[in-house]
Amino acid sequence: MDDDEVKMKEKDSLDSEENDEDEADSDTDKDSDASEPSPLLTRYNPWKEVAIRAESDRRSIENELIKLQKEIQQLYQELKKLKSPPLIIGEIVDILDDNRVVVKSTTGPNFVVHVANFVDKSKITVGTRVSLNRDSLSVIGILTTSKDPIITEAEVIEKPTIRYKDIGGLEPQIEEIKEVVELPLIKPELFRKVGIDPPTGVLLIGPPGTGKTLLAQAVAHETNATYIRLVGSELVQKYIGEGGRLVRELFALAKEKAPSIIFIDELDAIAARRIDSGTSADREVQRTLMQLLAELDGFDPLKNVRIIGASNRPDVLDPALMRPGRFDRIIDIPLPSHEGRLEILYIHTHNMNLKKDVNLEEIASQTEGMSGAELKAICTEAGMFAIREGHHYVSDHNFQQAIDKIKRGDSITQMKEVGAMFA
């Protein structure tokens, strides 16, 4: 082989080695380029944020869908209740042996009906209020015993704060009402030992503002009895039998809450003298009175329930109400005497800032013929005159102004003038 061929082979081998090195360098460059992130990938990608927001919206819509489905279910249930037939209210009159009862429905007549199997038979007694199916009149439910709101609201939850010491000029009347009302509630054994029954009812009569209501409140405060106060006019109802029902529920409530005190104010509203002629409204009032008389006749005086009535018109009361065995103890509450007025003034001025020139003895002499309510009004008006003059005390001059105002009846005159202005 000649020298030229040898040189050509060496050159070819060198070129191949250089090519191999160039390929290796290019591969190294490609590897280095692959390890470095692309600038496009490092830029902000908005589609990822859109996807997150869409996922959040999807979850919110699913939650809203669940909420709407629950609301639709509730509406379906409410619609089902509205479409259900009404039930009839009845009362159990008698219980038979063959799973049947005699009920008196609100429609009028009595029916012999079956009792549904799912109703607790042990809770069914005579007088129980039940619900009846409209078609078959079967007993399908037991209702709780309810009373009229007029009766339930008559119960005074908190005891009155009036005490005997807050009532002036009525010491004999206080002693008498203690014996008749307070003593049978606190010590009923005394009457059992003696062998007598305490008076069933007590009637307080007298002019307005003499302290009849205060006496009843004081008795309720001194005893631990439930105080049930009702105005006679609230027992006067429009429909036949409603007034008598209220009277029955009133005495039933008193027996449930025993020991209790029933105070019926303005008794003459339902206990006026009965007359032969009259309107249907008068006859309904008379029915209410007859129910009250029936409750008093069937009343056990030792059952820890006391009855107090009050009226400023004893002349119009029915004689049947005044006979022994009903309101058989009548306590007269007269206008206060001079000593009584002085005691009432001391009670109402106890917390007042009086000037030294105030002579309560002289004021008591000037207020002859006034009731306790009017004396309280005088003390209030005297304080108002002192405030009007910018004083922190009440002087005798203020009391004289108040006495003149009460005697003139300026308060009534002013109310009439204000009423005429708005008429």
Q: What is the extent of the structural domain holding 414?
A: 338-422
**In-domain check, residue 4:** no
Domain boundary among 300, 332, 364: 332
**343 plus 359 within the same structural domain:** yes
What is the per-residue pLDDT across 140-179, written as a single tens digit (0 to 9) for each? 888 876 666 777 777 776 778 888 888 888 888 989 888 8
Q: Looking at the predicted structure, is the pLDDT value of residue 366 above 70?
A: yes
**112 plus 256 within the same structural domain:** no
**136 plus 170 within the same structural domain:** no
261, two tokens: 């005190």
Domain boundary among 302, 332, 362: 332
What is the per-residue pLDDT across 98-131, written as a single tens digit (0 to 9) for each? 788 898 876 667 888 888 888 888 888 887 888 8
**199 plus 291 within the same structural domain:** yes
CATH number of the domain bearing residue 95 = 2.40.50.140
Straight-line distance from the first to the last Cα atom of the chain, in angstroms, rounded to the nearest whole number: 148
**234 plus 218 within the same structural domain:** yes
Domain count along the chain: 4
Residue 382 CA to residue 401 CA, distance in Å, equals: 7
Q: Looking at the predicted structure, is the pLDDT value of residue 418 above 70?
A: no
Higher per-residue confidence, 148 vs 41: 148
Classify residue 137 as left (phi > 0), alpha (psi -120 to 50) or beta. Answer: left
50, two tokens: 């859109």
**65 plus 131 within the same structural domain:** no
Task: Return all residues near 117 (Cβ < 8 A) that are at least 6 apart.
Answer: none
254 pLDDT tier (thresholds 50, 70, 90): confident
22 pLDDT tier (thresholds 50, 70, 90): low
| pTM > 0.85: yes or no | no
Query: Which residues on adjacent β-strands are paired with residue 331?
Result: 204
Which has the closest alpha carbon to 322: 212, 233, 202, 208?
202
**400 plus 291 within the same structural domain:** no
**In-domain check, residue 161:** yes
Mean pLDDT, rounded, for 297-309: 74
Q: Looking at the predicted structure, is the pLDDT value of residue 422 above 50?
A: no
Which of 129-143, 229-243, 346-360 is least confident?
229-243
Q: Reduce the DSSP state of residue 140 to 3 states and report it.
A: strand
**In-domain check, residue 395:** yes
**267 plus 360 within the same structural domain:** no
What is the per-residue pLDDT across 259-283, written as a single tens digit (0 to 9) for each? 888 899 888 888 888 776 567 677 7
pLDDT at 301: 57
Classify residue 400 as left (phi > 0), alpha (psi -120 to 50) or beta. Answer: alpha
DSSP state, residue 178 = I
**In-domain check, residue 106:** yes
**62 plus 126 within the same structural domain:** no
**In-domain check, residue 28:** no
Which has the closest alpha carbon to 222: 302, 166, 162?
162
**In-domain check, residue 11:** no
CATH number of the domain bearing residue 311 = 3.40.50.300
**298 plus 384 within the same structural domain:** no
Task: Return all residues near 225 (Cβ < 8 A) that are at least 6 apart.
Answer: 185, 258, 259, 260, 261, 304, 306
Mean pLDDT, rounded, for 341-355: 89
**266 plus 396 within the same structural domain:** no
Task: Return all residues near 76 (Cβ < 8 A) that are at least 6 apart.
Answer: none
**158 plus 229 within the same structural domain:** yes
Q: How confident is the prediction for the chain on average, in pLDDT?
A: 80
Which has the closest alpha carbon to 259: 171, 346, 198, 341?
198
